Amino acid sequence: MTDVARGDDRTGGTAPGQRGEQTRAVHLPPQPRVEQESLGLAVWRTSTFGFDTSQEYADVLGGRTPGYVYTRDDNPTVHAFAEAVAALEHPAGEDVQAQAFGSGMAAITATLLAFTGAGTHVVAPAGCYGGTWSLLAHTLSRFGVETTFVDGTDLAAYAAAVERPTAVVWAETLANPTMAVADLPRLAALAHDAGAIFAVDSTFASPAVCQPLRHGVDLVIHSATKYLGGHSDATGGVVIGRGELIAAVRHLRVETGGILGPDEAFLLRRGLATLPLRMARHCASALVLAETITGHPAVARVDYPGLPDHPGHDLADQLFLRGDGRTRYGGVIWVVPHGGREAGMRFAELLRLPVTGASLGGTHTLVGHAASTTHRQLDDDALAAGGIDPAGVRLSVGLEDVEDLSADLLGALDELAG
């Protein structure tokens, strides 16, 4: 692509030196072409790209020539972020590609729409993220997509559900919010035997804890807002998988307009550079805190895969990555205090360092009462089906000193116990 002032070497028209001030203001000298490698990602804040000829425009738009036309379709900064996540999810160099979206829910929606239609069937865990549950139960159902919700840890339930024709089997590497561990290899086998796509939301894990493509998963989805960005300052989503599947996801993204903006892409890609360092800290602190509060008289249960008595502990050891001589079990703890829904909300309010708020995976420890916030779409029966106790509190462990967090948690629990 050349300078936008392409008419300068053509005959006719006003000579460059004789153009009016507004024309000269619009047609400024071209931006410099930098040959050296930039250590910082360039941010292409443009909605459109120019071409020398109509044929070049048509060829790039039609995919016959590489390039960029319109940021709703593709953008170099966004492309760089997506490629970086793909490299982290599967560094072996196979045909693994990615598509980035304006949010995690946009990525989930496009993935499901790409492989379902009227009369198709989805199998998903009853205890999945509330936004995903609502999308399946209330939105896609309006268009003839049926969903069977099952216990996410019950392979027999999954097997029974896929006996009818199934388009997509859905799972969460680490369940939001209960931290149940999905048996990815066996679920992949069940899905593929049924001729279904196996898609996994791996937001709670990140590529620094688990790389699901290595375990037979077809598509991996992240809310990049969380661990990938890591600083609570950008919103985005990403889908990773084999080229032919990602092509279908890209088509949905272009058709529905769910593109990630270039500034957000810059921030999210910048976060990837410290992802392993941050995840090691999140996971190490979460394990200490889970061990610290287990057995406290105010606590009915603590669910964290790093605890030896967690039902998914051995599976996590098989599937999750190790760093600094230990398995990374994730940075979220599911805490169920005695006393029901009101006790859960009270516990969250008693904490001083954790911020009561949405999202997770940032530098700050965040706390939320799930039944009234992230899973507000589920009534009591749906919560029970998903194994989500109405008293449960989701604690996303940040980067603060673990000693300070421990003191705060214990103080709040002591007050809760009365």
Residue located via tokens 């392979």: 155
What are the distances in angstroms from CA 7 to CA 13, 25, 169?
8, 16, 55
Looking at residue 308, its pLDDT comes to 98
Higher pLDDT, 15 or 179: 179
pLDDT of residue 93: 63
Q: What is the CATH number of domain 76-272?
A: 3.40.640.10
Nearest to 202 by CA among 310, 376, 328, 74: 328
The top-level CATH class assigned to 275-417 is alpha beta
Of 406, 97, 126, the closest CA to residue 249 belongs to 97
Query: 């066996």: which residue's tokens?
Result: 186
**Which amino acid is located at 13 in the chain?**
G
Name the catalytic one among 226, 250, 269, 281. Answer: 226
The model's pLDDT over 40-88, given as tens digits with 9 standing for 90+, comes to 999 999 999 999 999 999 999 999 999 999 999 999 999 999 999 999 9
Question: Looking at 31-45, 47-61, 311-325, 359-373, which range is the least confident one?
Answer: 31-45
* Degrees to nearest 5, angle at CA 128 with 107 and 412: 115
Mean pLDDT of the chain: 94
CA distance 108 to 168: 12
Any idea what the Cα angle at residue 251 is, between residues 247 and 256, rounded to 5°? 150
Residue 9: pLDDT band by 50, 70, 90 thresholds?
Answer: low
pLDDT at position 3 is 41
State the catalytic residue, choosing from 129, 227, 304, 329.
129
pTM: 0.93
Instruction: Kindly tell me if the per-residue pLDDT of 134 is higher than 90.
Output: yes
- Dihedral of the CA atoms 258, 357, 362, 353 (nearest 10)? 170
pLDDT given at position 5: 42
Share of the chain above pLDDT 90, in %: 85
Choose the catalytic residue: 74, 183, 201, 218.
201
Buried b (16+ CB within 10 A) or exposed e, 340-354: ebebbbbbbebbebb
Task: Locate the domains of the chain by residue range.
Answer: 42-70, 76-272, 275-417
Determine contact, residues 235/361, Cβ cutoff 8 Å. no
Catalytic residue among 24, 45, 64, 72: 72
Q: Is the pLDDT of residue 7 over 50?
A: no
**Which residues have C-beta within 8 Å of that of residue 184, sequence separation ≥ 6?**
171, 173, 200, 210, 212, 215, 216, 217, 319
Query: Among 9-18, 140-149, 374-383, where is mean pLDDT lowest?
Result: 9-18
pLDDT grade for 225, boundaries at 50, 70 and 90: very high
Residues whose CB is less than 8 angstroms from the CB of residue 174 and which lie 6 or more positions away in sequence, other chains included: 180, 181, 182, 202, 204, 205, 209, 210, 305, 330, 332
**Pairing state of beta strands 197-201 and 219-223?**
parallel
Looking from the CA of 24 toward its CB, the CA atoms found within 13 Å total 8
Is 72 annotated in the active site? Answer: yes
Rounded Cα–Cα distance for residues 246 and 134 (Å): 24
Per-residue pLDDT of 26-40, as tens digits, reads: 888 888 888 888 899
158 labelled catalytic: no
- 201 catalytic per annotation: yes
129 is catalytic: yes
Pick from 254, 276, 256: nearest CA to 206: 276
Strand partners, 201: 172, 221
